[in-house]
Amino acid sequence: MERALDLGTLQALLERAHGQTVACVGDLMLDRYVYGDVSRISPEAPIPVLRARRTVAMPGGVGNVARNVAALGGTARLGGVVGQDPAGAELTALVAAEAGIEDFIARTGPAGTIVKTRYVSGGQQLMRLDEEESLVGAFERDDVFSGTSAILLSDYAKGVVSERLIRSALWQAQNAGIPIIVDPKGRDFARYGAVDVIKPNASELAGATGLPVGTDAEIEAALSALLAATTAMAIVVTRAGKGMSLMRRGEPVQHFPGRAREVFDVSGAGDTGLAALGLALGAGASLEQAVQLAILASGVVVGKSGTAVVTPAELIEAEVSQHAGAALAKVTALDDLVAEVEAWRRQGLKIGFTNGCFDILHRGHVAYLAQARSWCDRLVVALNTDASVRRLKGEGRPVNDLDSRAAVIGGLASVDRVTAFDDPTPIRLIERLRPDVLIKGADYTREGVVGGDLVESWGGEVRLAAFTDGHSTTGTIAKMQGGAG
């Protein structure tokens, strides 16, 4: 079972997720945060007096799911219902100001828009005020599902996720061959039908099954009971600091540990996890990889204040920080590397060598290095220095400096050691390391591989690894800058 996303797999997944369109439909609300200072107790009652300093408003509920999809590089089609009232007008204006969110919101009659106002001082919530005069009405815009790669239903039990909406979403998902994931409410999870994933938290799982959920064994029993009571394909339960647990129909439970992070505010963490799950599955990731991305994203967002979002850059930074020690331990100076390679050779291990800039790691790089590692027992990757990259690629490159590139490459399970070279070619490294396999990309010919004759002279071989079509650093940079490719 996959236990962790290494840096390369994470970066490749985020690249695939970029530009995916995801339908985010459910209960929409306005989240307000009133921040201030407390310096005294009220003379009228034993309660703190909050002196308001600033107020922040943002889309909440399914609106926060959409914000997280957009922040992670996707396009969110936001479907929900608001009233024709000042809060509804404010909420739709906030949605319009969010890049990456397409508005499929229904405006109903005079029923009030749901507003949640949190009063915060010193990083602590003092109180939450909910304004829910009545349910705002049904959502019937089925065009929200058209042309999407995944469907997310965010149910806060306010009435939008109706039986009719669920049937429509299931029909659209089945016809389009796309996953549908539900963040549920209530006790009757069978009402969601044959969705791909239901994502309750531990408390919701306990409420739906009537079973304890404190230990792994109890979680396993509750998940088994819930799958037996529903037609869902899988259940993913979020367990706060304990991580997440996944159970597919007919398969044993898989437990994924949480990430140790300082928790500042858990508001909206479930929305972030739902967005990450849906975006990853829509991009073709396995459910295991999607769960790991959701854990990483939720772990980052709880370190922020308020109903927050996370970005791909923050996820990469979090993953680098998590594994920096192990990744950087692979970065080795040439003299030390020569000694290590000689020790490996005495053990009868086959040594592989490849080199390149590896500026922005993408899916093609990950596949290339995995194939290279399959041809040897130990793989050494030599990186061009920053000055060498500039000479090869021109000003503005590299995007990432040598230390950053080395940390990311070192984070790949397929890579055993990382070193650097500033010469025009890696011939000096090849002479000293004497690899058994010299690997370059299939865009080279055997005759064009620098050092190939040398490696073959001592009985080694030259192998050409295939590149994944449609993936290149130049194309990735153009996409990040809003260009073609």
- Residue positions annotated with a catalytic role: 271
The token pair that represents 258 in the structure block: 């949480």
Which run of H or E residues covers position 479?
Answer: helix 473-480
Are 29 and 111 a contacting pair, CB within 8 Å?
Answer: no
Give alpha helix (H) positions in 72-150: 86-96
Distance between CA atoms of residues 176 and 145, nearest Å: 9
Class of residue 250 by CB neighbours under 10 A (exposed 0-12, middle 13-18, buried 19+): exposed
CA–CA distance from 106 to each of 78, 136, 147, 168, 271 (Å)?
10, 10, 19, 16, 21
Distance between CA atoms of residues 212 and 343, nearest Å: 53
Give the contacts of 174 (CB within 8 A, at least 6 positions apart): none
Give the contacts of 252 (CB within 8 A, at least 6 positions apart): none
Are 52 and 36 a contacting pair, CB within 8 Å?
Answer: yes
356, 414, 304: which is closest to 8 by C-alpha?
414
Strands 234-238, 437-441: pairing kind: unpaired
Radius of gyration of the CA atoms of the chain, in A:
26
CA–CA distance from 9 to each of 104, 133, 280, 377 (Å)?
33, 47, 12, 21
Give the contacts of 480 (CB within 8 A, at least 6 positions apart): none
Give the DSSP letter string of 48-64: EEEEEEEEEEEEEEHHH
Class of residue 182 by CB neighbours under 10 A (exposed 0-12, middle 13-18, buried 19+): buried
185, 60, 54, 183: which is closest to 120 by C-alpha?
54
- The type of residue at 431 is E
Three-state SS for 324? helix
The token pair that represents 370 in the structure block: 């995995």
Are 435 and 457 a contacting pair, CB within 8 Å?
Answer: no
Three-state SS for 470? coil
Class of residue 18 by CB neighbours under 10 A (exposed 0-12, middle 13-18, buried 19+): middle
